[in-house]
Amino acid sequence: MKTAEYVFTALRGRQAGREYYVVMCPMKLVPKVFLFQEEELPAELRAQRSLNKARIPEITDYMVRNRSDYVFSSITASIDGEVRFEKLTVEGNPVDSDEIGSLRVAMDARFVVNDGQHRRAAIEEALRRYPELGDETISVVFFVDVGLKRSQQMFADLNKHAIRPTKSIGILYDQRDPLSNLACKIVDDVVVFRHLTEMEKSSISNRSTKLFTLSSVYQGTLSLLRKSQNSKEVSDEEKGFAADFWKTACDNMPDWKMAAGREILTSELRRDYVHAHGLAMHAIGKLGAALASTPGRDYKEELKKLARIDWRRSNRALWEGRAMIAGRINKSYNCVILTTNVLKREFGLELSPEEKNVEEEFLRKA
């Protein structure tokens, strides 16, 4: 009796002397074919870390919100079972290439995901909401692994050299995120930022001529507008306010203007001043949010006080334990709040309950 099979259009390739196959898999087959490893396989055969179910709604929402232009990279999977590759023929005659054809896999074979477990789960959830997505396809790279002896090593190898893009790169390239777009526009519109912002890296080397990172402008703007990273909308009024606020802030930071005019080295500012670090951008953004929400305060006039603050790192009595720990700039959440508290005190602004708690705890330990 002939065994039932899955049949995929496939390209055949070779790595390390072994054949592998790239196929186009209909989305509707994804939940049926690939196993949830932690539920259906013993630990010694699992080929991925445990599924982080908190990630699935985010990936699913990305897929259904962007149905006309979502992008998924390939799933990588192992096959434990009978596999047969048949070269493509046209009217009974083989084509020139030996690497184009059909991959026939017995339905009782086991398919185990080596890379893409969360995409698989998100696709399953998206299909529940929009069954018509089932006719779309995702590319799958199949490796034959009888007994699943190589699966765990494959997972380790696939992830060993993977490097996440920097946060700044993610912001620069994410054209769907209105806050990312706003941060890029602010950098372009504010002259000081335009000359001094590192657009790709999220840290700045000692030799760099840059002073800010795109990610620090983004984070400062999130704080200014009191937005979360998941915010989907930014009004025109908020966009105008953010651009105007940062332009005014830069106008009242003489050292930043000198650096933009090449009158002082950015490396000297990073070495000697708190305001030359992302921590300060975050705190100034929080200060701006407080100014904008306090009746009777004109932030354009108020921001002139920024020039009065002693930003020198040598002023350890002011900054140690707040912006610095043991003389080094610290970007922890509490340090951001404690730095913001310094600014709010200078501007005569009331601390929020959370800021008061962090301040009291700091003073108890001082």
Mean pLDDT over residues 262-278, rounded?
Answer: 96
The total number of structural domains in the chain stands at 2
CA-derived radius of gyration, the chain: 28
216 shares a domain with 148? no
**Is-contact 31 120, C-beta < 8 A?**
yes
Query: Which amino acid belongs to residue 212?
Result: F
109/237: higher pLDDT: 237
The predicted-structure confidence for 286-333, as pLDDT tens digits, reads as follows 999 999 999 999 999 999 999 999 999 999 999 999 999 999 999 999
The predicted-structure confidence for 174-186, as pLDDT tens digits, reads as follows 888 899 999 999 9
Q: Identify the sign of the CA torsion 313, 314, 315, 321.
A: positive
199 shares a domain with 87? no
Domain residues for the domain of 341 are: 167-365
Q: What is the largest CA-CA distance in the chain?
A: 87
Q: Identify the sign of the CA torsion 353, 299, 215, 59.
A: positive
**Is-contact 103 23, C-beta < 8 A?**
yes
17 shares a domain with 127? yes
Across 212-243, b (16+ Cβ under 10 Å) vs e yields: bbbbbbbbbbbbbbebeeeeeebeeebbebbb
How many other C-beta atoms are found inside a 10 Å radius of the C-beta of residue 247? 16
What are the residues facing 104 on neighbouring strands? 7, 84
156 shares a domain with 173? no
Would you give the DSSP letter of residue 3? P
Model pLDDT, residue 53: 81
304 shares a domain with 171? yes
Mean pLDDT over residues 59-79, rounded?
Answer: 89
- Tokens standing for residue 207: 């030799």
The predicted-structure confidence for 207-255, as pLDDT tens digits, reads as follows 899 999 999 999 999 999 999 877 778 999 999 999 999 999 999 999 9
Last residue of a domain, one of 115, 144, 160: 160
Last residue of a domain, one of 160, 190, 218: 160
219 shares a domain with 122? no
181 shares a domain with 322? yes
- β-strand 137-144 against 75-80: which pairing, if any? parallel
| Surface-to-core class of residue 291, CB atoms within 10 Å of its CB (0-12 exposed, 13-18 middle, 19+ buried) | buried
Would you give the DSSP letter of residue 175? T
**Is-contact 285 223, C-beta < 8 A?**
yes
Q: Identify the sign of the CA torsion 192, 198, 204, 205.
A: negative
Last residue of a domain, one of 98, 131, 160: 160
177 shares a domain with 64? no
281 shares a domain with 181? yes
CA 188 to each of CA 88, 172, 202: distance values in angstroms, whole numbers, following the listed order? 53, 12, 18
Is a pLDDT exceeding 70 seen at residue 335? yes
322 shares a domain with 200? yes
Cα separation, 199 vs 203, in Å, equals: 10
Mean pLDDT over residues 165-175, rounded?
Answer: 84
What are the residues facing 320 on neighbouring strands? 324
| Surface-to-core class of residue 163, CB atoms within 10 Å of its CB (0-12 exposed, 13-18 middle, 19+ buried) | exposed
Is a pLDDT exceeding 90 seen at residue 112? no
73 shares a domain with 23? yes
**Is-contact 312 272, C-beta < 8 A?**
yes
**Is-contact 20 139, C-beta < 8 A?**
no
262 shares a domain with 144? no
Mean pLDDT over residues 4-24, rounded?
Answer: 90
- Tokens standing for residue 126: 């998206």
What one-character-per-residue DSSP string does 310-359 give? Answer: --BTT-HHHHBTTTEETTEE---HHHHHHHHHHHHHHTTPPPPHHHHHHH
